[in-house]
Structure 1
């Protein structure tokens, strides 16, 4: 048997980054950028008015003038106007170009509009302090034309998509999200849409995994095969050619019908991990083919639903994120509320119920699992914690990271 640490090392050493593709910007949320986004213009692209009000020449204010005739109105999106007389003003709207000849903006709230024989004028108080360039976003204050706005490797969330759009990127080069095959075998299994016989069980595992992949924006296709060795081999070979990553469910134990990995020529890299639950977890890869096919990572998960769910969150999901270039989130550290004794000399994955205390600390209560088949016991759980094999007694107050269910 191999340790969890050694298993992590093997998986990390065999990480395959998925290929790149160009996609429309509006579909790029959650993807990882594989190119630099270069500013095609300054940002702001012009001296931009930051509030509704009047724009004036600061020199007029500085000379003591406090009453300004309003000569024109500058709207956002319109061709810039000019201040023909430095003793006057231009009414301006938020987001518009600062009129030529103006270098200060005074908000409406700080002026009094009056009518005179020369038309409408703006009066400001003698006590009001005005500064040059106030309420103005200066051109290139945020970013200069030709500079890097987004670096390669950036995760495209809403702010980054907005930045790319600001600089006219209607498509982006990203790491492609994989197509994943979820393969289940077993004569005793029935689909959730079919009438079930008394001696059958429903295929819940594949739908569980598919739902997680869907939330991550990953396409997961479900395949089911009966325990027919001759029929299985040809169909699996076609799946290997079509999909980027394979998840096998049930085909990793020592049962006489659990022969799936051997049918697709997998190089066995990690098997029989020193952990509980999930000892029969399996990782390997299909070697690159002579016809140019790329190598394919393969994860074989135990058929027991508790073991399957824990192994998927512990190994498969982190692998997929890293293969897509997505950085793993910072771990959430929880404090164990009750003591726990690990009677086996294996790494133990303990389901927990978590909550956040008034002081912001995360607390975790261990939950009992009746058996590896008892998925119902996880209904109240929020995830699981990993307890190292080197320790037997874990007191209340023990701190470790939680793997949260997706």
Structure 2
């Protein structure tokens, strides 16, 4: 397999669908993406290991050089689902217009791998003459957009990766050393269906869910009044009602309803305390509406993340970018790489404002600065 040029690498990664989703009908394998990356990296001299996390879901660990320490350039190979009808072009085809590359994963975050490979290419002559002082590791994970299963599997295995790790999530090329936690939760309500002409014939799961949603929004307001951290652009915790499914016909009392939502707690807010507060608010709803109500997490909570402001990686990244390290509201795999002993930072070329929505893109003006930044990091940690 010959290594294609940068734009073609970008296009090939985007063309390989790899949606991860809590809805089984939308969930897809990421194996074609990691296999394509492994083929390119193997050609460049990396030792590639594919780790199957679950059927069809894989992590890729590609290592150039040997020994302890070194630099990890990390990212996830999955994307969120997409609304094709709302895109101006095919989401799975790279489209260049208005000084941008458009495509699903261009920003968040398959494109990062194409740029990381570009950063490595001119350094390969050095490695042929003289081995790297410390290894360079490219890490590509699965299911970051849903369960974080790939990063969790790495943390559970406990295999050390490197001295420092940079995750190429969209940060506008500003280093990020703090982020909120992520909790993805589900409420299932089972009522009693019946003919809609007589409400006494059933117990509406949809009406009970309406009441449950009301309680969640009241709790959200209470938490936002109680907790705030000015380091974040969104200083309060957030609660998003993500998707709801219920009923089957207008003339039937709704017998079942399910809601999935996410919570973004600030550092210091404990997931189990938040869940207990939710349970206490939902219990009276179930009793009042005479329904069965089950509340549970979809996945274990992603912890909030904080890297020390004076760590070597933060100082190097601030020097290379000219920006002070900041905080973001979205979650990443950073806490799991920290668990493996890496100083960790989130730093990538995309903008979070265009992630998870139609016409996701990467500005062409970000490409060269990203490549130079990554080369600077590789030189510092590996050469």
* Band the TM-score falls in, shorter-chain normalisation: under 0.3
TM-score, normalised with respect to structure 1:
0.22
Q: TM-score, with normalisation over the residues of structure 2?
A: 0.23
Higher strand share: 1
Higher relative contact order (CA 8 A, sep 6+): 2
Find the structure with the greater CA-based Rg.
1
